[in-house]
Each structure stands twice: as C-alpha cells, then as structure tokens.
Amino acid sequence: MELVIPQVNWAVMAPMLVVAVSALSVLVVDLFLPKERRGLLAGISLLGLAFAFMVSVRLWGREEQAFKGMVALDPLALFFDLVFLLVAALTILISPEYLKREEAHYGEYYVLILFATLGMMLMASGLDLIVIFLGLETLSLSLFILSGFLRGRLSSNESALKYLLLGAFATSFFLYGIALLYGSTGTTNLPRIGKLLQGVLTGTDPLLFLSMGLLMVGLGFKIATVPFHAWIPDVYEGAPTSVTAFMIAGTKAATFAAFLRIFPYALSSLQADWTRILAALAVLTMTVGNVMAIAQQNVKRMLAYSSIAHAGYLMVALVAAGEPSIGELAAPSLLFYLVVYAFMNLGAFGVIIALGKKGEMNLTFDDYAGLGFRHPALALAMAVFMFSLAGLPPTAGFIGKFYLFTAAVQAGYVGLAIIGVLNGVLSVYFYLRLVVAMYMSLGEVEPTQLTLSPALAAAITLSAVMTLYLGLFPGWLFDRASTAVLAFVG
C-alpha cells in the first residue's frame, strides 16, 4: 500500500500555523518555568503574534485556497487575521497585571488565548461551513475555560457554566443549520452553495428558509443579537476582565467574519428574507443594548451591555452589505468599525484593569469619582475611549459610525440610519456618565498609589492614540478594508 501525501498549500495556513506553534511552545515552556517568571510567557505569546502579524502582512494581496477549497487565503481573511492578532496582542498586554492581582497567573491562560485566536482565524478563512464550525468550536471551547479562569470566584464559575450551556445550545443550532443547508443543496462549500442557490427563492423551499434561520440564531448568539443576548451581562461581568475585553472585541469580529462569508455572498439569493430579519434584529439589538446599559452601576457590566448595542450598529452594515450592487461601502465599513471597536474597547478595559482592585473591586461609577484630577493621564485616556464609544468627533468612533450609517443610507436603509444615530444619543448618556464621574463628581483628592506595568501603559496609550488617529485619518485603513472586500466579491 502506498502512502499518498496530499499536496497542501501551506502558505494558506501560514498565519494560523504560526499562532498554533507559539501556543504549543508556550505550553511547553510553561512546564520548565518557575512561577515568578511567567511574565516571559506573555513575551513569547506576543512574539508569536507579532510574527504571525508580519506573515499576514507579507501575504497581503494573495488569493489562494487549500484543502480543496475549504480554506481561503484572501485579503478578507487576512484583514480579519490582522484584527484578531491585534486584539489578542492587546489582550495579552493588559492581562499579566490583572492575573497577578487576582492570583491566577498560569501559563494556560496564554495558551488558551492563542488557541482562541486560532479559532477566530479559522472562522474568517473558512470557505466551507464545516471549517467555520471548526473555528467556532475551537474559539468557544477556549473561551469556556477562559471565562471560568478565576477558579476561586463564584461569579467566574457562573460565567463559565452559563456560557458553556448556552453556547453549546447555540452551536447546535448552527450545526443544524449546516445540516439542513447540506440537505437542500448537497454541499457545505460556500461558493458552491452560492452558485446552486442562484435564482432560488426561499418561498419554494422551506428547508432552506429554516436552515437560514438556524444559522442566524447560531451566529446571532455569538454576537449577542437581541433576543439571544440574555447571557451577555452575567458572562461578561463574571469572566476575568481581560477575557471579557477579548471576548467582546474578538468574538464579535470573528462572528461577523462568518456572517460576511455566509450571508451576503453564499446566501445572496435569499437576501430579501434575511436582510429583513436582520434589519429588525439590528433595531432591537441597538435599542435594547443601549437602554439596558443606561441603568448599570458597574462599569464592566455597562460595557457588556454597550457591546450589545455595538453589535447592533454593525448589523446595520451587514444588512446594507446584503445589497452588494449598491452597497459597496457596507462591508468595508463593517471591517473598519471592527478595528476601531477593538481599539476603543480594549483600551477602556485596560483602564478598568489599571484601576481595579483585587477581587474585581473598584468597578462602579462611584469608584471613578474625581479620577480626572487624581490620575489625569489615565482619566484622559478613558475619556477618549468613552467619547469614541459614544461616537463623538474627532474620535474614530465617530468616523466608524459615519461609515456604517453612510453605508446604510446608500443601500436605502435611511430608517435604520436614523434609528442608529438616535441610539447614539441614547448611548451618550451612559458613556458620558463615566466622564461626569471622573471629572465632575467629588471623590478622593489624594492620588492613590497606582503603578502601571509598562505593558498595560503601552496598551492603553496605543489604543488611545489609535482611537484619535483613526478619527482624523481614517482613509488608509478604509481603503485597505475596501480592497479586502473587493477582492472577495470579485
């Protein structure tokens, strides 16, 4: 018997392989490292991510496939890869300080973050529903463990259990969706599904309609679309703060990548159906997220609810992307906003970590009172993130939303854009409440002892600078986002 070694185009997998190898090496090095030197693991992870980043940049512009068209290397995948690597790197920068404080500084943390990143990259590169599912599972399993990483804390355990139960449930919806789609088309390959469905209307095939709905539920759960958002506050509040930041920015980006691969392109012929549903969900998601966030007293929980609202804004772009002929701004604006969101969100969580105290303390609005004059630099950074999240110029959050809503108007969804901007006003209330607390409420005047690790300081500074920079000079990134999408469509 002859052993046939299949021809594999490994270049397609290169960024993922780099991440996987660095994850494994962290695992091995961890075995030989004394406890107090675990900071080194963060360094190794960062090096690995940086290397993967460089590889991805090098590969930019190439369009190849491997594994019989199951995995793609195209600008869209690479753009998302870069986003994930960025999110992971920022997460790792803000993590050590937090983990040490909570006495949970174990090497496995970095391994899991890297594997979760790998899962995200797989999701974005998948041209086959099965590959996307594999990525989703790799991501989810790592996150289940990460959200329960603070073993000693009840809320962390609760978070992990809730996430596991509901997450597994949602994943099964996704899997059913794949099965039904396979049943009606005979394939799980997305481009082929797209071709087969050309000219087919959902009305003619209830199976197709059902599978579309199930896929939407499965993915909708991950980005916390209302009404599949109930798990968000508890999971995000209970999980370690750094993991919450990672989940909010990373999972969201990965799931939107999958959404983009599946809905506007493979299921483009069903566009009339799913855009209608998604538009309704987007309105609900934006509004519910913002309204719920208003009532929060805990900053972390507030950001958790606000992440729901931001998912809603992004869904507006997704709806617009359903009209590829006239909505050419839609998909790029989605990509752009994901980058912006990564910076402002991780930056904000960085500040939360910097100010937090052991045992997840010091997280309420009242704890931020007077911060503006106790720690001016930190408060200034937080103010930048809040203004950006609220969408005020000249920050990146404004220009990001501007792109999103321009895309919506361009595709003919003026109503969605109006609801979106009005939601922005609503969100001003709770984001600026933090600014009010920091600058306008009286708190302790004496500066408390606060030492920032260089890594944390670097992460916060980078995020703040990028939030402002992208607000003033968004062109270069948006052009790249456009290239990423154009290559994919073409």
Partner 1 sequence: MDLPILSIITFLPLLGAFILLFVERRREAFIKGLAFVVSLVGFLLSLHLFAAFRADTPELQFVEKVPWVEGLGVSYFLGIDGLSLFLVLLTTFLSAVAILASFSVVHKVKEYMICMLLLETGMVGVFVALDLLLFYIFWEAMLIPMYFLIGVWGGPRRIYATWKFILYTMAGSVLMLVGIIILYLLGGRTFDLPALSQVSIPPGLQRWLFFAFALAFAIKVPMFPFHTWLPDAHVEAPTAGSVLLAGVLLKMGTYGFLRFALPLFPQASVEFAPLILFLALVGILYGALVSMIQPDLKTLVAYSSVSHLGFVMLGMFALTIQGVEGAILQMVNHGLSTGALFLIVGMLYDRMHTRMIEELGGLYRPLPLLGAFFLIVAFSSIGLPGLNGFVGEFLILVGTFLRSKLYAVLAAVGVILAAVYMLWMLQRVMFGEQRGQEAGHLFDLSGREIAVLLPVVLCILWIGIYPHPFLKRMDASVQHLLQQIQVRQAISHQPSAFRILDLGLRISELGSLHQSFNPKSEIGNPQSSDRRPLIAESLREGWNSSSLR
Q: Which residues bind partner 1 (CB under 8 A)?
A: 372-373, 387, 392-394, 398, 402-403, 405-406, 409-410, 414, 417-418, 421-422, 424-425, 428-429, 432, 436, 439-441, 473-475, 478-479, 482
Quote the CA–CA distance of 150 and 148 in Å, as a whole number.
Answer: 6
Angle between helices 330-355 and 376-390 (to 10 degrees): 150
Query: Which residue number, 133 or 398, has a Cβ lying nearer to partner 1?
Result: 398
CB of 297 to partner 1, least distance (A): 17
Query: Which residue number, 5 or 445, has a Cβ lying nearer to partner 1?
Result: 445
CB of 312 to partner 1, least distance (A): 16
Query: Which residue number, 174 or 398, has a Cβ lying nearer to partner 1?
Result: 398
Query: Which residue number, 345 or 388, has a Cβ lying nearer to partner 1?
Result: 388
CB of 294 to partner 1, least distance (A): 12
Do residues 313 and 286 make contact, with C-beta atoms less than 8 angstroms apart?
Answer: yes
CB of 395 to partner 1, least distance (A): 9
Give the residue among 407, 364, 375, 398 at the shortest CA–CA distance from 467: 398
CB of 132 to partner 1, least distance (A): 30
Query: Which residue number, 76 or 190, has a Cβ lying nearer to partner 1?
Result: 76
Instruction: Tabulate helix, strand, coil % of the chain (nearest 5).
Output: 75, 5, 20
Query: Which residue number, 20 or 371, has a Cβ lying nearer to partner 1?
Result: 371
Query: Which residue number, 240 or 471, has a Cβ lying nearer to partner 1?
Result: 471
Handedness of CA 91, 113, 240, 365 (dihedral sign): positive
CB of 154 to partner 1, least distance (A): 36
- Distant-in-sequence contacts of 264-267, Cβ < 8 A, 24+ apart: 264/318, 264/321, 264/322, 264/324, 264/331, 265/190, 265/191, 265/194, 265/324, 265/488, 265/489, 266/190, 266/191, 266/193, 266/194, 266/197, 267/193, 267/194, 267/197, 267/212
Q: Is the link from the previous residue into 227 a cis peptide, with omega within 30 of 0? A: yes
CB of 93 to partner 1, least distance (A): 25
CB of 428 to partner 1, least distance (A): 6
Query: Which residue number, 48 or 400, has a Cβ lying nearer to partner 1?
Result: 400
Task: State both tokens at 176.
Answer: 């059913």
Do residues 128 and 69 make contact, with C-beta atoms less than 8 angstroms apart?
Answer: yes
Task: State both tokens at 124.
Answer: 């974005």
Distances from the Cα of 169 to the Cα of 112, 211, 222, angstroms: 22, 16, 11
**Residue 393 CB contacts under 8 Å (≥ 6 apart), including other chains:** 399, 471
